[in-house]
C-alpha cells in the first residue's frame, strides 16, 4: 500500500498493485484497474517513487 493525499488534505492508502495509470494535467489523477479515479496532490514522479519503494520493500521481505 502507498499513502497519497487527496486535494482536501485527507491521507489515504491505496494498493499499488491496482494502479493502472497515473496522469498529470495539471492535477495528478490515478486510475485503478477497477476504473476508479483519484485526484491527489503528489506528482506523477512522486507516485512512481512511492510505488518503486513499495515494490522494493515487498521484494526484500521475500528474500
Question: What tens digit of pLDDT does each residue of 7-59 get?
Answer: 999 999 999 999 999 999 999 999 999 999 999 999 999 999 999 999 999 88
pLDDT > 80? residue 63: no
Cα gap 52→43, rounded to integer Å? 14
User: What is the C-alpha to C-alpha distance for residues 4 and 12, in angstroms, rounded to an integer?
Assistant: 6
User: What's the count of helices (H) and strands (E) in the chain, helices before strands?
Assistant: 1, 5
Compute the CA torsion angle 18, 23, 27, 33 (nearest 10 deg).
-20
pTM for this prediction: 0.89
Look at residue 1 and tell me whether its pLDDT is greater than 80.
yes
The H or E element spanning position 2 is: strand 2-5
Band of residue 61 on the pLDDT scale cut at 50, 70, 90: confident
pLDDT over 70 at 62, yes or no: no
Amino acid at each position: 500500500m502507498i499513502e497519497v493525499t487527496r486535494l482536501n488534505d485527507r491521507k489515504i492508502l491505496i494498493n499499488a498493485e491496482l494502479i493502472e495509470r497515473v496522469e498529470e494535467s495539471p492535477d495528478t489523477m490515478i486510475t485503478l484497474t477497477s476504473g476508479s479515479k483519484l485526484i491527489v496532490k503528489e506528482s506523477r514522479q512522486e507516485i512512481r517513487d512511492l510505488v518503486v519503494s513499495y515494490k522494493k520493500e515487498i521484494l526484500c521481505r521475500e528474500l
